[in-house]
Chains A and B, each alone.
Chain A
Amino acid sequence: MATPTLEKVDSAAQEASPYITVVFRIRRFNPEVSAEATWQDFAVEIDPKERVLDGLHKIKWDQDGSLTFRRSCAHGICGSDAMRINGKNRLACKTLIKDINPSKPITVEPIKGLTVLKDLVVDMEPFFQAYRDVMPFLITKGNEPTRERLQSAEDRERFDDTTKCILCAACTSSCPVFWNDGQYFGPAAIVNAHRFIFDSRDEAGEQRLEILNDKDGVWRCRTTFNCTDACPRGIEVTKAIQEVKRALITRRF
C-alpha cells in the first residue's frame, strides 16, 4: 500500500464545491511589448481559503505564462511577493482570498515608489541600497570574548520587534514620503538601524544615528502609520521610527 495521499480529499472537497469564481484585475507592464501599462482581468476558479499567490499561480500556469511576479517560500517568510492588493501593500502568500472581498474584482499592482520592470516585478536595488547605508551589522570594539557575549533577556527583548523584518519593502513602498522622494531612507532601513541601535551589544549607535539625522533620514517621517499597517510581520514600524527620533534628541538608547 502506498503512502496515503490527498487525492481522496481533493475529490471530496470538489464535491462540496468550495470553489468560487474570482476576477483578478492585474496591472500588466512589459516594455518588450508596450511602453504603456494596462489592466487585465482574469477569472479564476479558486477556494476562498487559498492565497492570492495561489490565484496568481493559477493564472500563470493555466492561462497566461507571461504573467510575471516574484515568489519563493509562499508562507510569509522570504519577503519576495509584496504587492499592492486592493490598494494595500500585502504579501500575496499571506493574504487569503476570503479576507479581501472576492465578490468584487481583486486588484493587484506592483508596490509603489520603485521602478516597475515587468508586471509585478520592481527594481529592488534602491531599497537594498538604503538598507546597506545604515550599516546593518553588529559593530563592536575591543577584544572578543572567548564565549558568547552576555545579554540579559530584557536587553534582548528591547529590539526583538525589529529583528522580525524580512526586507519585503511593503512598508517603504507604502510610505507617501518615499513615493514623492526616493532619496528618503524609508521605514525598512530605519527599522534595520533600530535593530542595531537598541542592541546592547552594539557600539556604533551614534554613527547610525548620525546617518539617520541626514536630511533624507528619520525627520522626513510624517507618521502616517502606512508602514505599520503594511508590515506583514506585525512590526510596529512607526513606533520604531519614533524611538530612533527620540534617541536622536536625547542621545540615549
Chain B
Amino acid sequence: MKIHKYDTVIVGAGGAGMRAAIESTKRSRTAVLTKLYPTRSHTGAAQGGMAAALANVEEDNWEWHTFDTIKGGDYLVDQDAAEILAKEAIDAVLDLEKMGLPFNRTPDGTIDQRRFGGHSRNHGEAPVRRSCYAADRTGHMILQTLYQNCVKEGVEFFNEFYVLDQLITEVDGIKKSAGVVAYELATGEIHVFQAKSVIYASGGTGKFFKVTSNAHTLTGDGQAACYRRGLPLEDMEFFQFHPTGIWRMGILLTEGARGEGGILRNKDGERFMEKYAPVMKDLASRDVVSRSIYTEIREGRGCGPEGDHVYLDLTHLPPEQLDAKLPDITEFARTYLGIEPYTDPIPIQPTAHYAMGGIPTNVEGEVLADNDTVVPGLYAAGEVACVSVHGANRLGTNSLLDINVFGRRAGIAAAEYAQKADFVELPEDPASLVVEQVERLRNSTGTERVAELRKELQETMDANVMVFRTEQTIKTAVEKIAELRERYKNVSIQDKGKRFNTDLLEAVELGNLLDLAEVMAVSALARKESRGGHYREDFPNRDDVNFMRHTMAYREVDAAGNDSIRLDYKPVVQTRYQPMERKY
C-alpha cells in the first residue's frame, strides 16, 4: 500500500473533473485520479451543444434560460442553482473559446448557435437558438480542449486508478473528508490518497440499463463510494431517457438533429409530435418526447416488423447541411445500421442517457451529509452530483454547461478550502475496506458470474423502471435487485492476477450498479406522482402538495450488518417561478 498526500484530489477526468483541475491546479497541489485516460471520458460522446444565452443570432437572455431549465426540470429544480447555471453559462462558453475550443461560427465570426429541445424565447413562445456547438462533436471538442489546457497547466494525472472508497473521519462530531482509496489497474496495488479536498467528478451510472447511450465504464463508482459511507443520494429515481438512440444499440443521435430540422415519424409517416407538443413539436423536452414515442409504439404505430421503434427523418435536409452540422451521427447510421441518412429514415428508440440525481451538493459544489450540513473537504460536480439544476428532467445542452459551470466552481472552492484547511487524520487502517473487497473477489470460489448478474440487472431495469413505471413494475425490480444483490455475494472471477485485472474491476463495478439500482428503484417506488423523467402510470399527474421535494436516500446498516435504504426528503428552493402546468 502506498500513501500519497495532495491538497486536492479529483476523482474523474471528464469535463467536470478537468474543468475543476484547471482551477485547482493553479491554487493547490492537485492530483486527478481517473479509471481511464482523460480523453476517454464520456463527455466526448456528447454531441449537440452547450447552452448559453449569448444572443449571437437572435434575441435571448439568461433569465429565459433559467425559466426553461426550471420548467424543463418540472419544477423540481433548485431555482437559485438554475439562475447561477444560466447566468454563468455565458462566461463558461467564452472561457472555452479562449481556451481554444473550435466552435462553429456565424458569418460575423462569432460563435454560432442552434435550436435545442426545451429552450425557448420568452418563456415558451417559440424555440430559440441557444446551443453553442461544434458540428455534432461539441462534447469531443470540450473534452479535448479541457485536456489540452490541463497539459498546458501541468495537471498531474494518475491514469487507470480506480477510486473504490471515500475516507471519512469524524472530528468533534463532524464528518470530514480525509481522502480516497484507489486501486491501480496496471499493478493491482492499493493507494491511499490523503487530501484536504476531494472532488468527485466521476460521471453517471447508466450501465444498469441495457439500452443506453452510456459507456461501459459508467457504473456510478463515485456515487456508490459516498453512499456506502453513509452519505445520501438525491433524486435517484429521476433518470433521463433520450428520445433518439439507435434502435436496439442505444447509441446517441443528438437532439441537434431535430434542432437542424429533423422530424420524428411513426409507421404511417405521421409527424406525431404535433399531437403531443403543438408549439415545440419535435423539440419538446426529452421526457415528453420519449413518452410520446413509447405511446406511439404501444398504440401500434411503431415501425418495423415488431413495431418497436420510430423513425428519425433527416431526408428532407440538404446533404450539405448534414455533412456540415451532423457528420458524426450520420456516420453512426451508416456504420452501425447500414443506412444512408440522405435518403432513408433512421430507426430510433429512447435510450437511457443521464442521471439527474446523484451526490447532493450546494451551489459551491460542497457535498451535503443531510439536508443542511456540508461535509468539509468533500465536493462533487457534473453528472455524479445533484445541485440540483436538472430537477426531474435535464434539458439538452445543459449537461455540458453543468460540467463547466459547476466543475469550475467546485475546483475553485475545493482549492481555496485546501489552502486554509489542515489535513484530516486518516482513519485507522484506511485501505481495509478496499483490501477486503478486492481479496474477497479475487479469492472467491462462488458460482455466480458477473456477466450473467449484470445482464439480469439490465433486463429488469429496462423492463420495469424505464420510461413508464407502476407500483407493480417497480416492486418487481426491487425484488429482482434484492435477489441479485444476494447472489452477488457468491460471485467469482476467473482472472486471479494483479496485472490489468479488468475481470476484477468489472465485478467491483457490478457491485456499484446493484447498490445504485436498488436506491433508484426504492426512491421511484416511494414517489407516487409523475414528474419529468419519472412517470408513474398509476399516478399520472404531478403532485406538488406531497412531492414537490427532493428524495434523499441513505444507507442504513443494522447491528447484524444488514443494510437497508432510509428515505428522507429535502425542500426545493423556489425563488421567482411558481409551478405551472408544463406544456410544450
Contacts and interface: CB of A to CB of B under 8 A. Distances in A.
A167 B470 CA distance: 45
Interface string A100-125: 00000000000000000111010010
Interface string B102-116: 111111111100000
B162 interface: no
A32 B36 contact: no
Interface stretch (B93-101, B364-372, B432-440): B93-101
Interface stretch (A61-69, A178-186, A218-226, A239-247): A61-69
Interface stretch (B122-130, B136-144, B546-554, B576-584): B136-144
A94 B94 CA distance: 34
Contacts, number: 192
Interface in A40-84: 49, 60-62, 64-66, 68-80
Given A160-B102, A163-B102, A75 B251 contact: yes
Interface stretch (B411-419, B499-507, B515-523, B555-563): B499-507
B420 interface: no
B186 interface: yes
Contacts of A31: 499
Contacts of B109: 150-153
Interface residues of A, number: 69
Nearest to A51: B336
A130 interface: no
A1 B476 CA distance: 12
Counting contact residues on chain B (CB < 8 A from A), the size range is 35 or more
B479 interface: no
B42 A32 contact: no
Interface string B34-52: 0011011110110000000
Nearest to A160: B102
Given A60-B503, A118-B499, A152-B105, A77 B44 contact: yes
A34 to B, nearest CB: 12
B42 A136 contact: no
Would you call the interface of chain A mostly helix, strand, loop, or mixed? loop
Contacts of B134: 163
Interface in A124-167: 124, 128, 131-132, 135-138, 140, 144, 147-153, 156, 159-160, 163-167
Contact of A147 (B94, B186, B500): B94
A137 B96 CA distance: 12
Interface string B450-480: 1100000001001110111110010000000
A61 B450 contact: yes
A95 to B, nearest CB: 9
A17 interface: no
Contact of A72 (B98, B103, B215): B215
A3 B248 CA distance: 14
Contacts of B464: 2-3
B211 A163 contact: no
A3 B216 CA distance: 23
A156 B102 CA distance: 7
19 contacts: A4-B297, A9-B248, A30-B497, A31-B499, A61-B450, A61-B451, A65-B493, A66-B495, A66-B503, A68-B502, A68-B503, A72-B36, A72-B215, A78-B44, A96-B335, A137-B100, A137-B148, A148-B103, A164-B137
Interface of A: 1-9, 12, 30-33, 49, 60-62, 64-66, 68-80, 94, 96, 117-119, 121, 124, 128, 131-132, 135-138, 140, 144, 147-153, 156, 159-160, 163-167, 196, 199, 201-202
Given A2-B466, A78-B40, A165-B144, 15 more contacts: A2-B470, A3-B467, A7-B463, A62-B451, A72-B217, A77-B44, A96-B336, A119-B500, A150-B108, A156-B105, A163-B134, A163-B137, A164-B137, A164-B140, A167-B37
